[in-house]
């Protein structure tokens, strides 16, 4: 029997639909299949995302470098100058003439203020004391004390130019004593940088033998007159510039810095 036609308003037989098949993709002129109408391609969004990530990857270093330049330009820069630290050296001598009989202060020895550094021959004054009465004794004892030479400051013996057996003249240097707990430093600042330095300004002092460590300092004085950079400082080109000498007191509590050591002084920015 032949199949009866479906009444109006009823679905056609599903087998008919299966025979017809699903909608086919259209082909373009090159023979490549194109997406069927109504479907969305994910190729273009992925490509845009890849381009965006590539742009971020390429521009990120440039942005970071620009930010660093901006920070460096905005931050106040420190003024730096170089010099050599020196100690406050005291030349200790005798008030009177006499033959040196003892020099107990050897080079490198640390002394306290009042320690004996030299003794002069006091044979004559000692003999006089033995035969002196009460009135004379007091005066002779004062004179006898002058045969003993003492250091007026605490520090290290850096030099002993005198020798035992020599006759010392009044005022002659017998021993040099240096206070290493506080050193002095002279640096030279260009005229254009003079406004960045003031008396009382804090300074950090750095030395190559002590990497990562700084010593505290303070500006004690600034020369009022300009001068050419001394020949023993900087290069020949720098010596042609007018500069101002700046003196700095450097704290050296443990004696790590030694006289004659080259250092860098970093003037800390701030307000006078």
Query: How far is the CA of 56 from the CAs of 46, 68, 70, in angstroms?
Result: 15, 18, 20
- pLDDT at site 9: 47
Quote the number of domains for the chain: 1
pLDDT at 242 over 90: no
pLDDT tens, residue by residue, 132-151? 887 788 888 888 999 999 99
Is 27 domain-assigned? no
pLDDT for 208: 95
Average of pLDDT values for 3-12? 47
- Give the pLDDT of residue 33: 52
Which has more confidence, 30 or 258? 258
- Domain range enclosing 253: 79-86+180-267
Is residue 214 included in any domain, yes or no?
yes
**Residue 95: inside a domain:** no
- Across residues 167-171, what is the average pLDDT? 94
The model's pLDDT over 105-135, given as tens digits with 9 standing for 90+, comes to 899 899 999 999 999 999 998 888 888 887 7
**In the predicted model, what is the mean pLDDT of residues 239-245?**
80
Percent of the chain with pLDDT over 70: 72
Beta strands 155-159 and 242-251, pairing class? unpaired
User: What CATH number should be reported for the domain holding residue 247?
Assistant: 2.40.30.170
Residue 214 to residue 267: CA distance in whole angstroms: 12
Q: Is residue 272 a contact partner of residue 200, using CB atoms and an 8 Å limit?
A: yes
Out of 21-30, 108-117, 162-171, 242-251, least confident range: 21-30
pLDDT of residue 232: 56
Phi/psi of residue 254, nearest 5 degrees? -100, 5
107 in a domain, yes or no? no
42 falls within a domain = no
- The predicted structure's pLDDT at residue 234: 52
Does a structural domain hold residue 61?
no
For 54-116, give the DSSP string.
HHHHHHHHHHHHHHHHHHHHHSPPPEEEEEEEEEEEEEEE-SS-EEEEE----TT-EE-TT-E
Model pLDDT, residue 77: 72
Q: What is the average pLDDT score of the chain?
A: 80
Mark 112-145 as b/e (b = at least 16 C-beta within 10 Å).
eeeeebbbbebeebeebeeeeeeeeeeebeeebe
Q: Is residue 150 part of a domain?
A: no
Q: Tens digit of pLDDT for each residue in 21-75?
A: 544 545 554 455 555 555 555 556 777 777 777 776 666 666 655 545 544 444 4
Residue 10 lies in a domain: no
Please report which confidence band the pLDDT of residue 20 belongs to, taking 50, 70 and 90 as the band edges.
low
């Amino acid at each position: 029997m032949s199949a009866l036609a479906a009444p109006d308003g009823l679905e056609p037989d599903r087998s008919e639909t299966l025979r017809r098949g699903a909608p086919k993709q259209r082909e373009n002129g090159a023979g490549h299949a194109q997406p069927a109408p109504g479907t969305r391609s994910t190729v273009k969004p992925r490509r845009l995302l890849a381009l965006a990530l590539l742009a971020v990857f390429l521009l990120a270093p440039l942005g970071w470098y620009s930010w660093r330049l901006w920070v460096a330009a905005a931050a106040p820069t420190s003024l730096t100058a170089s010099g050599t630290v020196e100690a406050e050296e005291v030349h200790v001598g005798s008030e009177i003439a006499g033959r040196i009989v003892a020099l107990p202060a050897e080079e490198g020895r640390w002394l306290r203020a009042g320690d004996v550094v030299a003794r002069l021959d006091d044979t004559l004054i000692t003999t006089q004391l033995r035969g002196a009465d009460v009135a004379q004794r007091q005066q002779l004892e004062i004179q006898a004390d002058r045969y003993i030479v003492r250091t007026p400051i605490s520090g290290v013996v850096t030099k002993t130019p005198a020798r035992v057996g020599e006759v010392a003249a009044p005022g002659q240097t017998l021993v040099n004593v240096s206070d290493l707990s506080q050193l002095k430093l002279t640096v030279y600042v260009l005229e254009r940088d003079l406004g960045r330095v003031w008396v009382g300004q804090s300074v950090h002092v750095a030395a190559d033998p002590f990497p990562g460590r700084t010593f505290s300092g303070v500006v004690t004085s600034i020369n009022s007159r300009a001068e050419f950079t001394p020949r023993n400082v900087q290069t020949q080109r720098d010596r042609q510039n007018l500069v101002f000498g700046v003196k700095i007191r450097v704290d050296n509590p443990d004696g790590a810095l030694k006289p004659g050591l080259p250092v860098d002084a970093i003037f800390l920015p701030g307000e006078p």
